[in-house]
Amino acid sequence: MSDVEKYGEPKNEAMVGELGNSTSTDTVDDDALLAKLGYKSEFIREFGNLETFSFAMSMTASIATTFTTPLSLGGVASVVWCWLAGSIMNLSLGASIAEIVSAYPTAGGLYTASAELVPRAYRPIVGWVTGYLNILGQIAGVASTEWGLSGMILGAVVVCRENYVISNWHQFLLFIALLTMHGLLNSMPTAGLARTTRYFVFINIGSAFLIIITLLATTSRADMHPGSYIFTEVSNGSGWPSNGLAVMMGLLSVQWTMTDYDAAAHISEEVHRAAIAAPVAIFVAVLNTGMIGWILNIVLCICAGDVTELPGPSGNAFLGIMYLRMGRAGAMVLWAFVCLVAAFTVQTALQANSRTVFAFSRDGAFPDRGVLGRLNRKTKTPIIAVWFVVAISMLMGVLSFASLTAVNAIFSMCAVALDLSYLIPVVSRRIFDGHSEVKFSPGPFFMGRWGYAVNVIMFFWTLFEVTILAFPATYPLTWNTFNYSAPITIAVMVLSLIWYFAHGKRYYDGPRSNLTHEERESVKDM
């Protein structure tokens, strides 16, 4: 079924053309749908299917920064089985989000959808909570991924200069420099961002397969671990008395990697045929990351050698295995591609985050008089929002001087906050299904009769994995081993609610249309 058949042929083409930035058929359809959702198109649509899929895909670098955790806490069996289980279950999360995004392809993404999927009386508070959770998680994601990238680069320095010891202030300065670089890149026009994004999916997937092939080729058969070892060997490094609990800590890697599912949703107003391209990119990215990531994890475990010697001097088990099998030169060449993928992951995360901040400000949810919701006249991108996210991310990094435990807690709340924000629109849709004030109109990505079952699985799985994400990874518990992600997330949300009832509800009344009265009347006739 075509977009026009799904959403209807625009009856007032003059109005639609005025709302859009192009007169192409795809853009007219996109802008007509956006107008129905209450917004005038302000961005320039430069992202096609390939760019959108590249934008949504993140794998090699994420595995590189998280692989050490399951290996050290639960052993190789934890790495292999938790990735497989998490990937399968996360399909329900990806599909549920994709279905919502297909129906509400706006820069606000799930924040906008959440407010629209509840009765009018609940829209302000639901939109407020979802928006702040989502923005909190995204900013923590930008900061944590950039911090991880700085550690990856310095880990390479350790491999090349064995007498070098990573200092916190070295990592912080590199962290600041990288954030500044990404802020400058995200200040480009949308066309430049699209060109930068276009072919990165091939580098992402290609680097994964190149590492897989090279590891297998450089590891002798005698040095490879057998399947009986990698699928059954549990090594409880967590300190918890239960081996089962130690194994479940392996879910941390897959959940940290397969998060920020809705990133592609937040560039919907910059995408051609967004109601199709964005949700398909989300679902296919989850599927590909799960399959290719599982193969990569298995190969890493096969070629790991003596796991008791990992992560090695670099502090990164992924890099340690590459160095063991490929030597310094080979490891550095391929590690450069891994770092490049990590840099691109931050690039896309920052772009998505800035669009969410833009949408939240556009709707009047920040006490900024709409400053963060303005587009630069030349680039047609929210440059102020970009640098706002960069600034907050830098402040998160400053916490590393107070305590690495504190900064790690801030960063780890990324997945907790984001996953909780994903639950709200899916649950709201089911609770208020059939309500007179809630009219969910499915987009092209629609699960039909399977949707309810998938949403139920997604609900229980998300609650389970959020519990694991918030659970202390090691025992005994001390001030340095306790997992502060949940308390910090709760504290931030409590403060945001206090702010809402004290002042926010005076100026925020839910998503706010930027259409004129005449344009809104024209939309009613479409």
- Average of per-residue pLDDT across 469-489: 84
pLDDT at 338: 94
Show the CA angle centred on residue 359, arms to residues 21 and 263, nearest 5°. 90
pLDDT digits (tens, 9 = 90+) for 14-57: 333 333 333 344 555 888 888 888 888 889 999 988 888 888 88
Range in 199-203, 331-335, 359-363, 406-410 with the lowest mean pLDDT: 406-410
Is the predicted pLDDT of residue 180 greater than 90, yes or no?
yes
**Which pTM does this prediction carry?**
0.90
Question: Residue 250 and residue 307: Cα distance in Å, rounded?
Answer: 15
Dihedral, CA of residue 480, residue 485, residue 486 and residue 492, to nearest 10: 120
Question: Residue 37 and residue 40: Cα distance in Å, rounded?
Answer: 9
Q: What is the DSSP track for 122-173?
A: GHHHHHHHHHHHHHHHHHHHHHHHHHHHHHHHHHHHHHH-TT----HHHHHH
pLDDT digits (tens, 9 = 90+) for 192-225: 999 988 888 899 999 999 999 999 999 999 999 9
Is the predicted pLDDT of residue 124 greater than 90, yes or no?
yes
Average pLDDT along the chain: 87
Cis peptide before 476 (omega within 30 of 0): yes
Beta partners for residue 462, in sequence order: none
pLDDT at 356: 94
| Percentage of the chain modeled with pLDDT above 70 | 92
Is the predicted pLDDT of residue 410 greater than 80, yes or no?
no
Question: Residue 475 and residue 352: Cα distance in Å, rounded?
Answer: 36
Identity (one letter) of the amino acid at 24? S
Is the predicted pLDDT of residue 140 greater than 50, yes or no?
yes
- The 3-class SS string of 341-352 reads HHHHHHHHHHHH
pLDDT at 520: 65
More confident residue, 370 or 257: 370
